[in-house]
Structure 1
Amino acid sequence: MALKRSFVFDFDSTLTKVEALDVLAEITLIGNPKKEAIINEIIAITNQGIDGEISFTESLEKRIRLLNAKKTDLPLLIKELRQKVSRSIETNKAFFKDFSDDIYIISAGFKEFIVPIVAEYNIPSERVYANTFQFDENDVIIGFDTENPLSKHNGKIECLQNLNLTGEIQVIGDGYSDAVTKKAGVADTFFAYTENVQRAKTIENADHITPNLDEFLYLNNLPRNISYPKNRIKILLLENVHSDAFTKLTADGFTVETVSKSLSEEELIIKLKDVHVLGIRSKTQVTKKVIEAADKLMVVAAFCIGTKQINLDACQENGVVVFNAPYSNTRSVVELAIGEIIMLMRSVFQRSTEIHNGKWNKTAQGSREVRGKKLGIVGYGNIGKQLSVLAESLGMDVYYYDVEDTLALGNAKRITTLKELLNISDVITLHVDDNAANKNYIGAEEIAQMKDGVHLVNLSRGFVVNIDALVDGLKSGKIAGAAVDVYPEEPAKNGEFYTPLKGLPNVILTPHVGGSTEEAQKDIADFVPSKIMAYMNSGNTVDAVNFPNIRLPRQTNAHRFLHIHKNVSGVMAKINKVLAKYELNITGQYLSTDAKVGYVITDVNKIYDDEVITKLRKIEGTIKFRILY
């Protein structure tokens, strides 16, 4: 027979995100010119009482005097508190209903607002132990029942003693008054609840730190909304990924660590030992060796467009999903391209260098408008298309070449061969992908096919242009000017760098910053985390670079199994055979495959035997298996 357990919850800052009397102050002090100062004083008094710096009786007395509240304010307070229930409490509402006989609320708050809130969680008023207000003849709150032990210092200890509960007693709260119940011997285990507030004295005296109710339920092996608490899912973000990504992922409950630089292969292997999600930009190399050593890794997220730095095949073979940000910095790259086209054609860089060196050279020679000039775009993808529209608005005649049969935007004209495009263009911009076949795509032969005095812009990939051929073209005057943002070899960190293009006139060199604007990085920090969360929270792989794309809505009252396997015949049949053997009813199922892997999401609506999981993991061809919720 299982040991009886009683779960004793605090209310303020545990079941709710806030301290109720602080919220009541916001209501009662509307229009008061000293509102902000009074609220700050109430908050300070609240914290002093919670941390045991003053007696709770004193804390309550001081706050009630400052509140000047009435009975008619309480319905408004209750309405506000209903909107401020802690997120993981709300998502695990079923726990409170299923185990309501074992749940107690012991709070230094007040029954008048606690009872209506917890009633929605199937907790009756007789299992709520809290203070009660006293009102005068005008229904103004003037005090509280001073005979109630919860109005006094260490009142929770006395309250628990009076309850005389049997079996294991677990206390869950955010304050020192909750922690002392364990020290006093009236509780067997104390869980410091830190979802809403972290108090040093509380954490110091905790048996367990629980950043959410999922963690508490996981530690107790109790039914919960998700199988594995998000705080146990570790995310590592490298290379100064925008801080919004950290904010968004931590707000969703994940544990996130940031490192400002890229890591070497060996450093990465050590760092990824307990990491589930890796976020990088362009410098970190995620090799096959790294992937095979990272047993817990589920996702690699590139906070940039390119994924050449990631071994996609190794990720796929090991069940690691890869996401990137293919659109988020498009505008930034396009704006730089437009700016560089204008600067090159106006010889701005040369004139600027001259005047920096003290030379005044006011001349129109080699300075031309872009209006009416022919722009040749090589690669008509997202960036090429948007560049096409903006360049046309400047009055340029736009031509493009792409290996795919893509639809022209505006008045742009598709050219069927690269040679023809090179022949007619005054300015050529390169926007091709990182396919290895594009190495030296522009070399001596292609440069020879260009117009004399052409301008070349490369914001795509460093290996696309043969640098020696480009240098020769610039020195001979065949190419009048060039702007280069990417290089065949780029350093892993900021510092010294050399390129043969250094020092050449009318050559604009930038350190791979085409997409590096605050706006682009912010957009990427919004887009990529949303993909990470969709996969970790729901199993959705839409927009994955290396995986079959699946999207299924989240189910309620169901369990979701995620099964990644080699793309061999019969796996789905074997999965369903296991589920049928254990009489699990499938409420939703979807399989998608590509050349190498298959990915199955299965929802079942019955409590399952752990042996089912063992059997599913052992199906031949299984790469990774995960229970989502």
Structure 2
Amino acid sequence: MSLPLLVVIALDPEHLARLEAGGFELHVAVNNPKLIETVGPEVRAVLTNGSTGLSAEQIAGLPKLEVICALGAGYENIDLAAAAARGVVVTNGPGVNNASVADHAMMLMMAIARGVVQADAAVRRGEWAQSRQMRPSISGKKLGILGLGSIGEQIAQRAGLGFGMEIGYHSRKPREAASGLYFPSPVALAQWSDFLVVATPGGAATAGLVDAAVLDALGVEGFLVNIARGSVVNTDALIDAVEHGRIAGAALDVVEGEPTVPSSLLKQRNVIFTPHIAGRSPEAVLATVQLALDNLQAHFDGRPVLTPIKQP
């Protein structure tokens, strides 16, 4: 007998088919939020991610819910307290898309430094000569990594070994055997850096961590790259900094309030965007879905889940 699984995030048909073949009856509510009310009384598992999450109200509407699986490492918008109060198991997918996110961070860093997006647009407008401006390289520059977790470490490896960049970082405390120099605050790290990559988790603890003081410390020749969560960067401070040239530019895979992007940020020529796709390589997504399936099957087979989230 198939187990009712509520899917509240977009997935490709082949990944949905994999879940279905794994023994689950899928109820996809991405473009049909009223479906939750219809199937809610029977749902025993939910598949979501950190950005979409699952609220206390939604959890309350799923009386048979046993397990919530977050695709990817993030789980900041899942109400862990509400899940714990009901005895609902919560899992995530740490590590499965680290390589893809680190690759994307390097791509964004090079693209914003070299003006690739702007140059491409200019050539398409017939402005070949006008677009041949000198742009800074990244080789040998100072890279600050805000949040030296496993993704941050992979970015450091690529930047250091591949491009000879000096590495600095800030985390809650120094990490043993970490790559690079430790800085005691985001401001101190930004002041040292030519490029500042945001690689922290999301959530209340890091909300607005990159504020006006950090951006001012990064300076007029500094570039910001965010592949973490939009909430980590104060959007108003970023708009003000790029609008008035207090930083050289920004490359953003995530934006606070996404998918809506403030029009005043969109019009900045020294800001480039990708739509939260750093972890969306075919290899990474397949591994993430498979880990979620493994967690679901473990739970319903009466075994411990593979990657549980510690709940309050």
User: What is the TM-score normalised by the length of structure 2?
Assistant: 0.91
Structure 1 segments of 4 or more deviating over 6 A?
none
Aligned residue runs from structure 1 range 348-387, under 5 A: 348-360=116-128, 361-365=130-134, 367-387=135-155
1:464 aligns with 2:232: yes
Contact 2:144 2:194 survives alignment (8 Å) = yes
Task: State the match for 1:256 in structure 2.
Answer: 25
5+ residue gaps, structure 1, are 1-230, 548-595, 597-629
1:533 aligns with 2:297: yes
Structure 1 residue 323 displacement after superposition: 1.0
Task: State the match for 1:500 in structure 2.
Answer: 264
Q: Distance in 2 between matches of 1:327 and 1:337?
A: 16
Task: State the match for 1:235 in structure 2.
Answer: 5
Larger radius of gyration: 1
1:518 aligns with 2:282: yes
Contact 2:212 2:237 survives alignment (8 Å) = yes
What is the SS of the residue equivalent to 2:237? Answer: helix
Gap change, CA 1:256 and 1:423, over 3 Å in 2: same
Structure 1 residue 296 displacement after superposition: 0.9
User: Residue type matched to 1:237 in 2?
Assistant: V
Contact 2:98 2:150 survives alignment (8 Å) = yes
1:402 aligns with 2:166: no
Q: Distance in 1 between matches of 2:90 and 2:287?
A: 18
1:441 aligns with 2:209: yes
User: Residue type matched to 1:541 in 2?
Assistant: V
Structure 1 residue 463 displacement after superposition: 1.6
User: Residue type matched to 1:420 in 2?
Assistant: A
Contact 1:241 1:525 survives alignment (8 Å) = no
Contact 2:170 2:183 survives alignment (8 Å) = yes
Task: State the match for 1:390 in structure 2.
Answer: 158
Contact 1:388 1:409 survives alignment (8 Å) = no
Gap change, CA 1:247 and 1:538, over 3 Å in 2: farther
Contact 1:471 1:500 survives alignment (8 Å) = yes
Cα shift readout 1:80-131 (whole Å, capped 9, x = no counterpart): xxxxxxxxxxxxxxxxxxxxxxxxxxxxxxxxxxxxxxxxxxxxxxxxxxxx
Q: Distance in 1 between matches of 2:242 and 2:270?
A: 9
Gap change, CA 1:378 and 1:507, over 3 Å in 2: same
Q: Distance in 2 between matches of 1:405 and 1:523?
A: 30
Aligned residue runs from structure 1 range 318-333, under 5 A: 318-333=86-101
Q: Distance in 1 between matches of 2:24 and 2:208?
A: 43
Gap change, CA 1:503 and 1:353, over 3 Å in 2: farther
Structure 1 residue 490 displacement after superposition: 2.0
Gap change, CA 1:417 and 1:426, over 3 Å in 2: same
Gap change, CA 1:304 and 1:481, over 3 Å in 2: same
User: Residue type matched to 1:401 in 2?
Assistant: H
Structure 1 residue 542 displacement after superposition: 3.9
What is the SS of the residue equivalent to 2:255? Answer: coil
User: Residue type matched to 1:259 in 2?
Assistant: V
Q: Distance in 2 between matches of 1:483 and 1:477?
A: 15
Gap change, CA 1:262 and 1:313, over 3 Å in 2: farther
User: Residue type matched to 2:303 in 1?
Assistant: G
Q: Distance in 1 between matches of 2:29 and 2:280?
A: 15
Q: Distance in 1 between matches of 2:65 and 2:202?
A: 25
Gap change, CA 1:245 and 1:321, over 3 Å in 2: farther
Structure 1 residue 239 displacement after superposition: 2.4
Cα shift readout 1:44-66 (whole Å, capped 9, x = no counterpart): xxxxxxxxxxxxxxxxxxxxxxx
Report the RMSD for the aligned CA atoms in angstroms: 2.2
Structure 1 residue 498 displacement after superposition: 4.1
Structure 1 residue 255 displacement after superposition: 3.1
Structure 1 residue 298 displacement after superposition: 0.6
Q: Distance in 2 between matches of 1:383 and 1:498?
A: 27
Contact 1:241 1:280 survives alignment (8 Å) = no
5+ residue gaps, structure 2, are none
User: What is the TM-score normalised by the length of structure 1?
Assistant: 0.47
Aligned length: 310
User: Residue type matched to 1:235 in 2?
Assistant: L
Percent identical pairs in the alignment equals 27
User: Residue type matched to 1:238 in 2?
Assistant: V
Task: State the match for 1:112 in structure 2.
Answer: none
Gap change, CA 1:357 and 1:485, over 3 Å in 2: same
What is the SS of the residue equivalent to 2:69? Answer: strand
Q: Distance in 1 between matches of 2:252 and 2:7?
A: 28
Q: Distance in 1 between matches of 2:262 and 2:187?
A: 31
- Higher relative contact order structure (alpha carbons within 8 Å, sequence separation ≥ 6): 2
Task: State the match for 2:181 in structure 1.
Answer: 413
